[in-house]
């Protein structure tokens, strides 16, 4: 039986499950990674970054959403192209959640450009990069010798390219020395072998030209010739490099970097050497022209010699004239030297007399006389001045003695001063009876008191 009070009580609540942030994140991570272990995704790349670690960080987006993505270095190094912002791609990866930040992202294992092959895109990217570095600049390309004597061919020794090349060389000029440097021309190791072959050939003596060649194939087959390091090795070669890769429509990075590009291996052989018969004919024609020029020059020289012979005179007559002229010049020279000598002697004698006249000894004696004369005059002037000064001094001394008050006092006069002010009295009006005064005499002084003041009348 149910009581009314029981109906009023609320039903017992179930206990809540309380997560920590770490536990909730861990469960979400486990759920996401289990459900999206391998997915394909299409999107546009933005915010692409490639730090020094070799990892690629990017955002994949469409018109409405975006998701972070990362491709770690072990996977990114196998990409044939470099991702760029704005590039649309198809990727494969798995969802992952980075627990410290609580962010989920897709971890990429594979990527390919949408609408264009990865190899074709990588080829265009590499072309732009090397072109910006000036690797394809015609100004840095070396000229080929007209007729090389020693040619190094870097290629597969079993391919059709070397057979076609040698066949043309044998037909056109069999005397040329051919050095075959065997390498792989396809596969992952091919580029490295060709780079090493270029280094080795550059150390060989007297190699005139290097030919890098192979037959045609797909873009994948020719990919070793699109290697960036191979292009740099071609440009670093001190020996001119001819690239003959594939068919005429195939253009590789090696073709663009080489000093000369030949469309086929056979065309490379034809560009390198001229036909022996053609060279022999050109040599014969040149020899004939040189012989004709020599005959014409010899004929002109004979005619000029005959003309000069007719104009020659007897050398003995010219020699006699020269001797006579030489004697005449010798006489004239002797007379001229004698006249010149006399003139110089006269000038020297005049200069000697002038020098004696203005000799410093004469000038010093005259200066000494003047100095003695002026010295005596100065002494007399000083003596007169001293005498006049003494007389004037004695006169002033007498005047000073006469003006000295003490001299006046000695004649019986006295000098009266107020006491103790010591002011000189000039009038009886300046003192009153009973005032003390001081009287200065020629010998001594008196201190007196005024008894009576008597003023002068009138």
Q: What is the pLDDT of residue 58?
A: 92
Domain stop point among 52, 83, 115? 115
155 domain residue, yes or no = yes
- The confidence band for 316, taking pLDDT boundaries of 50, 70 and 90, is low
Same structural domain, 134 and 253: yes
DSSP class of residue 78? T
Instruction: Supply 252's token pair.
Output: 């590789």
CA distance linking residue 198 with residue 141, whole number of Å = 16
Same structural domain, 212 and 191: yes
What stretches of 50-82 adopt beta strand conformation (E)?
56-61, 66-71
CA distance linking residue 276 with residue 278, whole number of Å = 5
Q: What is the pLDDT of residue 150?
A: 87
297 domain residue, yes or no = yes
Domain stop point among 250, 274, 298? 274
Same structural domain, 290 and 247: no
Instruction: Supply 261's token pair.
Output: 């590009």
Give per-residue burial for 28-45: e unless 16+ CB within 10 Å, then b. Answer: ebeeeeeeeeeeebebbb
pLDDT of residue 171 exceeding 90, the answer is no
Same structural domain, 154 and 214: yes
Same structural domain, 97 and 108: yes
Q: Which CATH number belongs to the domain containing residue 85 in this structure?
A: 2.40.50.140
49 domain residue, yes or no = yes
pLDDT of residue 416 exceeding 60, the answer is yes
Q: Which residue has the higher pLDDT, 312 or 102?
A: 102
What stretches of 238-339 adopt beta strand conformation (E)?
241-245, 260-261
CA distance linking residue 244 with residue 124, whole number of Å = 20
Domain stop point among 96, 115, 134? 115
Over residues 177-193, the pLDDT tens digits come to 888 899 888 888 888 99
- Tell me the Ramachandran region of residue 54: left when phi exceeds 0, alpha when psi lies from -120 to 50, beta otherwise: left
CA triple 416-419-421, angle to 5 deg: 105
Q: What is the pLDDT of residue 7?
A: 46
pLDDT of residue 122 exceeding 80, the answer is no
For the beta sheet containing 260-261, the strands, ordered from the edge strand earlier in sequence to the opposite edge, are 177-182, 150-155, 209-214, 241-245, 260-261
What count of other Cβ atoms lies within 10 Å of the Cβ of residue 179? 13
Same structural domain, 188 and 74: no
List C-alpha distances in Å: 337 to 148, 347, 349: 74, 15, 18
Same structural domain, 237 and 298: no
Over residues 358-386, the pLDDT tens digits come to 777 777 777 888 888 888 888 888 888 88
239 domain residue, yes or no = yes
138 domain residue, yes or no = yes
Q: What is the pLDDT of residue 438?
A: 84
Same structural domain, 84 and 148: no
pLDDT of residue 457 exceeding 70, the answer is no
Domain count across the chain: 4
Question: How confident is the prediction for the chain on average, in pLDDT?
Answer: 82
Weakest-pLDDT range from 152-161, 176-185, 212-221, 275-284: 275-284
pLDDT of residue 203 exceeding 60, the answer is yes
Q: What percent of the chain has pLDDT over 90?
A: 7
DSSP class of residue 435? -
43 domain residue, yes or no = yes
Of 252, 197, 262, 202, nearest in space to 224 by CA: 252
Same structural domain, 131 and 251: yes
DSSP class of residue 247? S
268-290: average pLDDT:
74
Over residues 3-59, the pLDDT tens digits come to 444 445 555 556 778 888 888 888 888 887 778 888 888 888 888 999 888 899 999
Beta bridge partners of 415: 440
- The confidence band for 312, taking pLDDT boundaries of 50, 70 and 90, is low
338 domain residue, yes or no = no
List C-alpha distances in Å: 343 to 57, 326, 330, 335, 337: 106, 26, 20, 12, 10
Q: Which residue has the higher pLDDT, 293 or 222?
A: 293
Over residues 223-262, the pLDDT tens digits come to 788 888 888 998 989 999 998 887 766 688 888 888 888 8
CB 234 within 8 A of CB 258: yes
Same structural domain, 143 and 269: yes
Q: What is the pLDDT of residue 331?
A: 83
CB 140 within 8 A of CB 243: no
Same structural domain, 160 and 32: no
Same structural domain, 281 and 270: no
99-116: average pLDDT:
81
Q: What is the pLDDT of residue 458?
A: 53
CB 85 within 8 A of CB 57: no
Q: What is the pLDDT of residue 71?
A: 92
By residue range, what is the domain housing residue 285?
277-308
Of 118, 68, 122, 124, nearest in space to 93 by CA: 68
Q: What is the pLDDT of residue 1?
A: 42
96 domain residue, yes or no = yes
CB 234 within 8 A of CB 243: yes
Q: What is the pLDDT of residue 115?
A: 60
Which secondary-structure segment (H or E) carries 361? Answer: helix 360-403
Q: Which CATH number belongs to the domain containing residue 147 in this structure?
A: 3.40.50.261
């Amino acid at each position: 039986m149910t009581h009314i009070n029981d109906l009023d009580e609320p039903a017992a609540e179930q206990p809540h499950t309380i997560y920590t942030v770490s536990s909730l994140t861990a469960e979400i991570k486990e759920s996401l990674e289990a459900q999206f272990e391998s997915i394909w995704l299409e999107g546009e790349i933005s915010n692409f970054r490639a730090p020094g670690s070799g990892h690629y960080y990017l955002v994949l987006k469409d018109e409405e959403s975006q998701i972070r993505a990362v491709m770690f270095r072990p996977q990114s190094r196998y990409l044939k192209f470099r991702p760029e912002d704005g590039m649309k791609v198809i990727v494969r990866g798995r969802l992952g959640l980075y627990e410290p930040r609580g962010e989920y992202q897709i971890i990429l294992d594979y990527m390919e450009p949408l609408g264009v092959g990865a190899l074709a895109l990588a080829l265009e990217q590499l072309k732009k990069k090397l072109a910006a570095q000036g690797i394809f600049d015609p100004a840095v390309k070396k000229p080929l010798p007209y007729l090389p004597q020693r040619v190094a061919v870097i290629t597969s020794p079993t391919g059709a390219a070397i057979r076609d090349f040698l066949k043309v060389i044998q037909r056109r000029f069999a005397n040329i020395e051919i050095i075959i440097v065997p390498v792989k021309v396809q596969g992952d190791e091919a580029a490295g072998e060709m780079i090493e072959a270029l280094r080795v050939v550059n150390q060989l003596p007297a190699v005139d030209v290097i030919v890098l060649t192979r037959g045609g194939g797909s873009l994948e087959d020719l990919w070793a010739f699109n290697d960036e390091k191979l292009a740099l090795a071609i440009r670093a070669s001190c020996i001119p490099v001819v690239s003959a890769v594939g068919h005429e429509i195939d253009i590789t990075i090696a073709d663009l970097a080489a000093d000369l590009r030949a469309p086929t291996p056979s065309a490379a052989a034809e560009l390198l050497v001229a036909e022996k018969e053609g060279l022999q004919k050109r040599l014969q024609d040149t020899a004939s022209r040189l012989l004709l020029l020599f005959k014409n020059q010899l004929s002109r020289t004979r005619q000029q010699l005959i003309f000069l012979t007719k104009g020659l005179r007897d050398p003995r007559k010219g020699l006699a004239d020269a001797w006579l002229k030489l004697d005449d010049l010798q006489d004239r020279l002797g007379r001229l030297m004698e006249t010149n000598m006399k003139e110089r002697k006269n000038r020297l004698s005049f200069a000697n007399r002038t020098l004696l006249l203005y000799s410093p000894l004469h000038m010093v004696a005259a200066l000494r006389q003047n100095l003695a004369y002026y010295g005596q005059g100065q002494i007399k002037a000083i003596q007169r001045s001293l005498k006049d000064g003494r007389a004037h001094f004695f006169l002033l001394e007498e005047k000073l003695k006469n003006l000295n008050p003490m001299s006046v006092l000695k004649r019986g006069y006295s000098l009266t001063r107020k006491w103790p002010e010591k002011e000189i009295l000039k009038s009886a009006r300046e003192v009153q009876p009973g005032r003390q005064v001081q009287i200065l005499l020629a010998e001594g002084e008196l201190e007196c008191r005024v008894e009576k003041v008597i003023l002068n009348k009138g």
